[in-house]
Chain A
């Protein structure tokens, strides 16, 4: 038994520490690219254990990488510099649902969809809905500030976190925010920790704001002959002061991947499609559907389906869920970038992407949460082809440059992690990056907590 394993065992017991080759391999990956073997895996069951592990890691100068479901796409849960993978998956209790104050208190390992199912039974609603919600954890959602289709109306994870219990890099337990909607005492540390990608602290208890569950919803599927018609419709709907619950976009290439994988008839000459869902009071929805239809009229709409029943709505969403697997099956290597632009810039961004695909000769498939400006850009390629890696790198950089130029961002919801660290300076000024790194260095001088993420270099390596 190694010294590290012996010390960890003393903290959490023999059955919750492992250094077996198998476990190191299994915790060497997440849902993104790259593989880095940790030295040990620890399964924590309380904030006190997390704090004890942090203190030990500080003493031994060993990195700690917190991990929930390992479903992140940018390498946030990878042990880039080895060390300890600290699994929080077992801290999965819903501690409280307060129906009077409309809030929930959870441990970080609770799966997002499990909380949603529980609160919806009580007529309540937790809106953030990342595509991985059936298996991703709320701790991971908080660390990455997860989004999803409903962000267009309801905002992302950061808009629902009221308070946190956090273990700091020094192994102390602190509390931020609380159970009130308003709170202006001291810095808003809650917002600092949300989206910090596990580099500043580890959330061990999360207090989440809940909403009343919308009474009803109505789903529409619109087909367009041109991609411009669809992209301009997105901007026009928002411009007309309509905020749908979701506003999803699919381009021609996405629809081509879907043929044969959905029960819905896709018109042959269809160049793009939108899925629009409105929610709220039942008697209000028909009027809202009519308003949407009026806005899109004359914008190359060649067909529409308005779901009248839950089954019809489900058929439309089944089609949307089939997109990712269908696209993934198209090429041996896929790069999924989640750029975001101001919503009025969607038509421009889409045109830029089409041009970039044509210029580079590399297929790009675009779909996503267009209503909040967030487009998933899937670059389909085969890295075995000679010189392809460099071509793809150049293309990704051009995609990011276009998003930044339109005053958008290189990541809407996946985070920077390892995958986007080298592009950070495209979006953030040197002063902004320095400010962030000063914070990180002050709180974690030895770079113990999730090193190698967000920033390319270590804290003392200016």
Chain B
């Protein structure tokens, strides 16, 4: 069925011209400097949103070359963006700089090949040697697992081979013997009258953190939901989007439309904020079937709060031994206005003493492929993030994006702090799970 639908309305990527009005809305006030993590790392006009919008305006006005002709300095500025959307959040005129940057990256990549964007992601797409490189660098990834990571997976973009020093320094999770799909069935029947949901796992949860995916599915099952975990799902496309690979984003979107559309579920749940940003936000801008899919996407923290999970958890007796936990807002939750639900969940967990940290909504510095191409800036942004963690005295930083978990772990480790980063779902133990089920 869906083949026909997909071919009819595959959606399209916006081009720079689509943003002409948005670019005009920038009044160059400079307010984005207060929000842009890349600005804080370099403090050059080209770092910050205002500068990138000026590059876009100059491209449209014919003052800078287009596509392959774009000056290297401008390309560098366009590559220096985490696409976190923080600037839009603070912009008095809501200029969507991350989307504009995405359009320019696609334009440049389409004409020059991907290697011209940032530093050469294209050569690594599908590189079989990635696995070998990662192992050689000392990151304990099981070879068997990396062989199974699809060539289109965002993980391959995030940790390309020719930037091994970065891979070597990054804290990667221990190998997962079996990926998420090998651990769970494609459909688990729930209780009648309860929501029908599908879980969009994403690359990191599928291959690196399947235990988070298992927790997610267990939570949904305990809530009585019928849960689908379609094996045909792929990468959300965010890393490809970040590196300007429009065609790959389209292929992935089509695959996800094929995997999810026929299920006719009430919601598509994500437990990775970036994936939510991809299939929930970016697909909306593509129109067509991807946009229809996007409208069903809900972050798990929002879903759990609406399902009354906070009240159920709060009714549990407080644990005697509790951990002090702070919350890191992933950019792709913050930009969708999802600030309160995760905090309510954390505060309700019986084993948690929730503390607010300063700069909770500041970007961790990962930013898709940013941390690979701009490791120094990424490190500086991470350093700044960790100051807030240290000051609040938390033992754990919880978040809802595996990418953030990885980056936070790296930054905490570099700062030699005895603090760990965890996914919020990892704080759900047996008692919490039991509280979810209807008696």
Tell me, in angstroms, the Cα distance from A70 to B72 when the chains sit together. Answer: 24
With contact pairs A26-B54, A89-B43, A328-B93 given, residues A18 and B73 touching in the complex (Cβ less than 8 Å): yes
SS class, residues of chain B in contact with chain A: helix
State how many angstroms separate the Cβ of B227 from the closest Cβ of chain A. Answer: 38
With A31-B27, A325-B93 already in contact, the answer to whether A70 and B45 are too (CB < 8 A) is: yes
* A26/B31 contact (C-beta < 8 A), A18-B73, A21-B73, A329-B93 known: no
| A113 and B73 alpha carbons, distance in the complex (Å) | 31
Task: Say how far A68's CB is from chain B's closest CB, in angstroms.
Answer: 10
- A22-B27 contact in complex given A69-B33, A90-B43, A325-B93, C-beta closer than 8 Å: no
* Residue B74 is within 8 A (CB to CB) of chain A in the complex: yes
Q: How many chain-A residues does the 8 Å CB contact rule pick out?
A: 30
With both beta carbons as reference points, the residue of chain A lying nearest to B32 in the complex is identified as A135
Pairwise interchain contact A22-B77, C-beta atoms closer than 8 A: yes
The verdict on A27 contacting chain B, using a C-beta distance below 8 Å, is yes
Give Cα A328 to B73, complex, Å.
32
Contact call A135/B54, Cβ cutoff below 8 A: no
For window 16-59 of B, CB contacts with A under 8 Å fall at 27-34, 43-46, 51, 54-55, 58
Contact B33 A25 (CB under 8 A): no
Say yes or no for A29: interface residue by CB 8 A criterion: yes
* Residue from B29, B55, B77 within 8 A of A71 (CB atoms): B29
A452 to chain B, nearest CB (A): 19
Chain B residue numbers with a CB within 8 Å of A30 are 28, 30
Interface residues of A (CB under 8 A from B): 18, 20-23, 25-27, 29-31, 43, 69-71, 87, 89-90, 92, 109, 111, 113, 132, 134-136, 324-325, 328-329
Question: Which residues of chain B are near A87, meaning CB under 8 Å?
Answer: 43-45
Additional A-B contact list (14), CB under 8 Å, known A70-B45, A71-B29: A22-B74, A23-B45, A23-B73, A25-B54, A25-B55, A25-B64, A43-B43, A70-B28, A71-B33, A92-B43, A111-B33, A111-B34, A132-B31, A135-B32
Q: Smallest distance from the beta carbon of B159 to chain A beta carbons, Å?
A: 27
Q: Tell me the bound Cα distance from A71 to B34 in angstroms.
A: 12
User: CA A111 – CA B44 in complex, angstroms?
Assistant: 14
Identify 13 residue pairs between A and B in the complex whose beta-carbon atoms are under 8 Å apart, listed by A's number: A18-B73, A20-B71, A20-B72, A22-B58, A22-B74, A23-B46, A25-B54, A25-B63, A26-B51, A26-B77, A70-B28, A111-B33, A132-B30
Bound-state Cα–Cα, A219 to B92, Å: 24
Residue interface mask B268-302, A partner, CB < 8 A = 1: 00000000000000000000000000000000000
Residue of B nearest to A27 (CB): B45
B31's contact among A90, A109, A134, A329, by CB below 8 Å, is which?
A: A134
Inter-chain contacts of B51 with A (CB < 8 A)? 26
Q: How far is the CB of A286 from chain B (nearest CB, A)?
A: 30
Most B Cβ at <10 Å: residue of A25, A27, A136, A328: A25
* Chain A: CB-nearest residue to B391: A121
Q: Tell me, in angstroms, the Cα distance from A148 to B55 when the chains sit together.
A: 32
A135 touches B31 (CB 8 A): yes
Find out whether the CB atom of A22 lies under 8 angstroms from the CB atom of B55.
yes
| Residue among A26, A89, A325 making CB contact with B92, cutoff 8 Å | A325
Residues in B with CB closer than 8 Å to A20 are: 71-74
- Asked if residues B54 and A29 are in contact (CB atoms below 8 Å), the reply is yes
Residues on B with beta carbons closer than 8 Å to the beta carbon of A325 = 92-93
Query: What residues of chain A lie closer than 8 Å to B55, measured between beta carbons?
Result: 22, 25-26
Q: What is the chain A residue whose CB lies nearest that of B29?
A: A31
Contact among B27, B34, B64, B77 with A134 in the assembled complex (CB-CB below 8 Å): B34
- The reply to whether B77 and A135 contact each other, CB–CB distance below 8 Å, is no
Chain B residues with Cβ below 8 Å from A43 are 43-44
**Chain A proximity of B125: nearest CB distance (Å):** 28
Cα A111 to Cα B36 in complex, Å, equals 14
Interface centre among B55, B74, B93 (most CB of A within 10 A): B74
Q: Are A328 and B92 in contact (CB under 8 A)?
A: yes
* Residues on the A chain within 8 Å of B44, using CB: 23, 43, 87, 89
Give chain B nearest CB distance to A117 CB in angstroms. Answer: 9
Pick the contact of A109: B32, B43, B46 (CB < 8 A). B43
The reply to whether B71 and A324 form a contact with Cβ atoms under 8 Å apart is no
What CA separation (Å) do A27 and B63 show in the bound complex? 14
CA distance A275 to B410 in the complex (A): 47
Residue of B nearest to A24 (CB): B73
**How far is B63's CA from A21's CA once the two chains are assembled, in angstroms?**
9
- Looking at the assembled complex, report how far the CB atom of B308 sits from the nearest CB atom of chain A, in whole angstroms: 25
Which residues on the A side are within 8 Å of B34 (C-beta)? 111, 113, 134-135
Q: How many angstroms between the C-alpha atoms of A90 and B71 in the bound complex? A: 24
Sorted nearest first, the 8 A-B pairs with minimum C-beta distance are A325-B92, A20-B73, A134-B34, A135-B33, A22-B73, A71-B30, A22-B74, A26-B45
Interface centre among A30, A71, A135, A328 (most CB of B within 10 A): A135
Report whether A31 and B46 are in contact in the complex, using a CB–CB cutoff of 8 Å. Answer: no
How far, in whole Å, are A109 and B30 apart by their CA atoms in the complex? 14
Q: In the complex, A26→B52 CA distance in Å?
A: 9
Q: Which residues of B contact A70 (CB under 8 A)?
A: 28, 30, 45
Complex CA gap A409/B159 in Å reads 59
Binary per-residue interface labels of chain B (74-88) against chain A in the complex, 1 for a CB within 8 Å, 0 otherwise: 100100000000000
Max count, chain A CB within 10 A of own CB: residue among B30, B58, B72, B93: B30
Residue from the set A43, A89, A324 with the largest chain B CB neighbour count within 10 Å: A89
Measured CB to CB, the nearest residue on chain B to A25 is B58
Shortest beta-carbon distance, B56 to chain A, in Å?
11
Instruction: Give the interface centre of B27, B43, B63, B64 by most chain A CB atoms within 10 Å.
Output: B43
Query: How far, in angstroms, from A264 to B132 measured CA to CA in the complex?
Result: 60
Min CB distance A383 to B, Å, is: 14
Minimum distance in angstroms from A133 CB to a CB of chain B? 9
Least CB separation from A326: chain B residue: B92
Given A21-B73, A22-B73, A25-B64, do A31 and B43 touch, yes or no (CB 8 Å)? no
Chain A residues whose C-beta falls within 8 Å of the C-beta of B72 in the assembled complex:
20
**B356 vs chain A, min Cβ distance (A):** 14
| Bound-state Cα–Cα, A318 to B34, Å | 17
Across the interface, which residues of B come within 8 angstroms of A111, CB to CB? 33-34
Q: Is the CB of A21 within 8 A of B64?
A: yes
On whether A21 and B93 interact (CB within 8 A), knowing A26-B55, A71-B30, the answer reads no
- Minimum CB–CB distance from B139 to chain A (whole Å) comes to 31
Q: Which residues of A contact B63 (CB under 8 A)?
A: 21, 25
Contact A29 B28, CB 8 Å, known A21-B71, A324-B92, A328-B93: yes
